[in-house]
Structure 1
Amino acid sequence: MKKLMALALSLVVLLCAGCAVPAAEGLFESGGSSQLRLRQIQTRYFDTSDKQRTVEAVIATLQDLGFVIDKASLDLGSVTGTKLKGYTVRMTVNVMPRGKAQMTVRASAQYNVTPIEDPIIYQDFFNALSKSLFLQAHLEN
């Protein structure tokens, strides 16, 4: 019962947060090329159709990198973790199908409330995730 209530509350929070529009900027006035560049840094495609295994690999990867998992939802394909080590870094990772044979994984990290744009952070995460998915696929065969 508690898990169901927590899941429902998480869903309500996510839906409400998705409706917010920044007051200082219009929807189409932000720096488009810098946002596109950041989105490219934050996104990778993996050759697997198994969303559950991909989400499990994301959770394991975040834990291996020292993050504590705050919330995870297989249905939403979303995992959020926090790393506390003299500073606060929060990373949210979304897993979405891309066609029938691939998964899109997008990671978004924040230092306190400031988005992290350093590509090294994302490269480290995706390198570790690639290894985790590779090992997961080969250990099962």
Structure 2
Amino acid sequence: MSTARCIVIALIALLVSGCATKVPESALKLRPESLEVRQIQTRRFDGIGEAELLAACAGVLQDLGFNLDEAEAPLGLIVASKNRSALEPASATVKRLLDIFLDIEMEIDDEQRIRASLVSRPVPNEVESWFVRVTFQRIVWTTENEISRREELDDPQLYQKFFERLSKSVFLEAHSI
């Protein structure tokens, strides 16, 4: 066998073995707090149809200042977002002082996009009963228009306030008020 042919076969074997990477075991394990987080993000609603439930969800998100990006009623999915300033007064002051006195440019958080993803699914073996799960994430950009961080918002009060508003809205939708 020629040397070139051996090299090609070796490269192909190396390429194929490189594509067969092993998934780390930690990637498949749920974090201990995953169940607790899911419970905070999920509520059950009874006595309402899916169309009315999704209308109530969309209304609450809009009341909270979100713009609807996607709505797929057959899938029970709503995605919404809102842009807000992420500028903190103390950071802005330090940035100005460094710029004025030391001629140093400092990147600070400038803008953020908060995204809400909502999914409804029927409760098994029950009529007009739904689980609603909502998650909130945010992406923060610096003054140089670079992403400084992406994070899931996991404050239980945020979810509690959302579901309190949604409960009121569902009640009004269900009773056509």
- TM-score (ref. length: structure 2): 0.61
Do structure 1's residue 97 and structure 2's residue 134 form an aligned pair? Answer: no
- Tell me which residue corresponds to 1:106: 133
- Tell me which residue corresponds to 1:136: 173
DSSP 3-state at the match of 1:139: coil
Q: Percent identity?
A: 35
- Tell me which residue corresponds to 2:46: 47
- Tell me which residue corresponds to 1:125: 162
Do structure 1's residue 81 and structure 2's residue 80 form an aligned pair? Answer: yes
CA contact (8 A) 1:97 1:103 kept: yes
How large is the RMSD of aligned CA atoms in angstroms? 1.8
Shift of 1:139: 2.8
Structure 2 unaligned regions, length at least 5: 1-22, 86-111, 140-149
Shift of 1:89: 0.8
User: Residues 115-140 of structure 1: CA distance to partner in whole angstroms, max 9, x if unpaired?
Assistant: 11111111111111111111122235
- Tell me which residue corresponds to 2:13: none
CA contact (8 A) 1:82 1:89 kept: yes
CA contact (8 A) 2:52 2:174 kept: no
Structure 1 unaligned regions, length at least 5: 1-21
Change (3 A) 1:23 1:73: farther
CA contact (8 A) 1:69 1:80 kept: yes
Distance 1:85 1:27 in 2: 34
Structure having the higher Rg: 2
Aligned AA (1:38): V
User: Residues 74-133 of structure 1: CA distance to partner in whole angstroms, max 9, x if unpaired?
Assistant: 011000000112121101000111032311000011021311111111111111111111
CA contact (8 A) 1:49 1:97 kept: no
Aligned AA (2:176): L
Shift of 1:24: 8.4
Shift of 1:23: 6.5
- Tell me which residue corresponds to 1:26: 27
- Tell me which residue corresponds to 1:16: none
DSSP 3-state at the match of 1:66: coil
